[in-house]
Amino acid sequence: MALLAVSAALLAGCAEDGPEAGENGVGKLSPERIRAKAERAAAGASSVRLAGTLVSNGEPVKLDMRLSSAGGVGEVATGGTRFSLLRDEKDLYLKAGDDFWLHQDEGKGGGKPSDADVAAAQKLDGKYVKVPPKDAAYQQLSGFTEMKVLLDGLLKFEGELAAEENGEVDGFTTIRVTAAGGAGGALEVALEGRPYPLLVERAGNAGQLRLLDWDEEFEVNAPRKEDVVDYGKKISAS
């Protein structure tokens, strides 16, 4: 009888903390608390990798960025162009092929890029261009390398939250939290280990991002001087 009582107690515990609740127990919380725990886990992380697509002004922007509080490195693709970004503390660098630089000149003055533009673009091919902090391009581009800024924006949802079925993201069991039935965005939160957000769907079909490699160390080192083109205080007009 004693053994049966112990067995019944164990089974009851399994029912309470089973696969729906998850190893970390997050799955048995309210959707508001699940989102809050995911937000706190993200805020306490030292690094993350963001990979996926955001839609801005109707234009898809593909990201694959590794980020930490000290900087970030990765690739961005939009409007048929692709470029690399590297930020080491406050120093921001942009690297792209000559097709990217030529694309910036297309349509200016109603014509094709001049021979001088082509020659300049070829010199920049594969080089890092240092972006001055006071240049308008710095504010536009550095946002892709700011871990806190990106995470704060991604983890905001519109509408009433609801916890839905369990899922799986990159081999991790998750619980899905939706806002306004999914129209306000959705979030997949890990049910194993720390409750990190592992996938975010933005409201209004404005893109989906996977959040990978939480707290994995990586180095961001400034490029060699011979690989850098420094335009000084302004590059936008260049």
Task: Report the CATH number that the domain containing residue 183 is assigned in CATH.
Answer: 2.50.20.20
pLDDT exceeds 70 at position 34? yes
Residue 17 counted as domain residue: no
Coil vs helix vs strand at 151: helix
Q: In whole angstroms, what is the distance from residue 236 CA to residue 108 CA? A: 14
Q: In whole angstroms, what is the distance from residue 78 CA to residue 66 CA? A: 18
Pairing relationship of beta strands 128-131 and 228-230 according to DSSP bridges? parallel
* Secondary structure letter of residue 68 according to DSSP: E
Q: Where does the pLDDT of residue 8 fall: very low under 50, low under 70, confident under 90, or very high at 90 and above?
A: very low
Buried b (16+ CB within 10 A) or exposed e, 16-50: eeeeebbebebbebebeebbebbbebbeebebbbb
Residue 215 counted as domain residue: yes
What is the pTM (predicted TM-score) of this model?
0.82
Structural domains counted in the chain: 1
**For residue 26, how many C-alpha atoms fall within 13 Å in the half-sphere facing its CB?**
31
Q: Where does the pLDDT of residue 10 fall: very low under 50, low under 70, confident under 90, or very high at 90 and above?
A: very low
Residue 20 counted as domain residue: no
Phi-psi region of 204 (alpha: psi -120 to 50; beta: other; left: phi over 0): left
Coil vs helix vs strand at 169: strand
Return the closest-CA partner of residue 52 out of 179, 232, 200.
200
Average pLDDT over residues 206-218: 96
Residue 47 counted as domain residue: yes
Torsion of CA 43, 44, 48, 51, to 10 degrees: -30
Residue 235 counted as domain residue: no
Q: In whole angstroms, what is the distance from residue 75 CA to residue 94 CA? A: 10
User: Is the model more confident about 111 or about 5?
Assistant: 111
Residue 184 counted as domain residue: yes
Residue 18 counted as domain residue: no
Average pLDDT over residues 116-140: 87
**Domain range for 207:** 26-223
Residue 139 counted as domain residue: yes
Q: Where does the pLDDT of residue 18 fall: very low under 50, low under 70, confident under 90, or very high at 90 and above?
A: very low
Q: What's the mean pLDDT when you consider all of the chain?
A: 86
